[in-house]
Amino acid sequence: MNTSQFPDIRRVVTGHDENGKAIVSSDGPLTTVVELAAIPGTLFHEVWSTSGAPAPIDNGSDPTIGPLLLAPPRMGTRFRFVDVPVDTPEFLAHGAKKMSAAFGQTGDASASTVTADSPHPLMHRTQTVDYGVVIEGEITLILDDSDVTLAAGSVVIQRGTNHAWANRSGRPCRLLFVLTDGALDPAIAAAIGRR
C-alpha cells in the first residue's frame, strides 16, 4: 500500500535468458517501501543496490528484499527515493530524542550526530558519496555552518559531511539518492575526530 503523497514508483529490471538474450526480469512496483516509525511521513523507496566493484552483472535476486539499511554494501551502491514530510514544530522541538530510533530502523543508529546545539534534529553522517536529486518539491540541505535551499531539478553531491534535510516548504518533497560506499580521507577523519 502506498502511503506516499507521490505516485507509485514502477521498476523495470532487465536480465538475460539462458541464451544470453536481453529480457525483462521484472516489471512492477517496488518490493520494499518503509516508513520511519520515528518520523511519520518519511518513506524510503528501495530501488536497487549493488555489492562489490565492479558490480556483478547477473540474474540474481532482488537485493532490496530484507531489512532497511541506510548505507550501501562494502564497495557497493544503494539506489532509493526518499519522501520527506514537512518539518513540524513538534518535530523540531522534540525530534532529536527520536533520532537513535529513526536511524536504528535503517540499521545505522551511529549515523545520527545530533547534539543539543545541532541546527536540526536529523543531523547525520555516513561514509558515503551520495548523489541526491530533488525530484519534486523543495528541501533545505543543512550543514554545520550553512544551509542551501534546493528546488526540483537541483543536484547535491554529498561527500560524507555532517548534514540534515529540512523541509520548510509547506509540502512534501521527494528526493532520489544513489549512495556509494566511501572512506574518509585521513586528514578529514582526523579533523572530524577533533570536533
Q: Specify the pTM.
A: 0.94
Give the distance from CA 174 to its chain's centroid: 11
**Which residue type, as a one-letter code, is found at position 95?**
G
Phi, psi of 74 (to 5 degrees): -55, 130
pLDDT in tens, 55-86: 999 999 999 999 999 999 999 999 999 999 99
CATH 2.60.120.10 fits 32-193, yes or no: yes
Residue pLDDT, tens place only, 16-59: 999 999 999 999 999 999 999 999 999 999 999 999 999 999 99
Asked if residue 91 has pLDDT above 70, the reply is yes
Q: Give the strands of the sheet with 77-84, arranged side by side.
A: 32-35, 43-50, 77-84, 173-181, 128-136, 155-159
> How far is 93 from 82, CA to CA, in rounded Å?
23
pLDDT at 63: 97
Give the pLDDT confidence of 99-141 residue by residue, as tens digits: 999 999 999 999 999 999 999 999 999 999 999 999 999 999 9
Closest CA to 100 of 124, 64, 76: 124
Q: Which of 56, 52, 103 is nearest to 77 (CA)?
A: 52
**What stretches of the chain show up as alpha helix (H) in DSSP?**
89-94, 99-105, 186-193
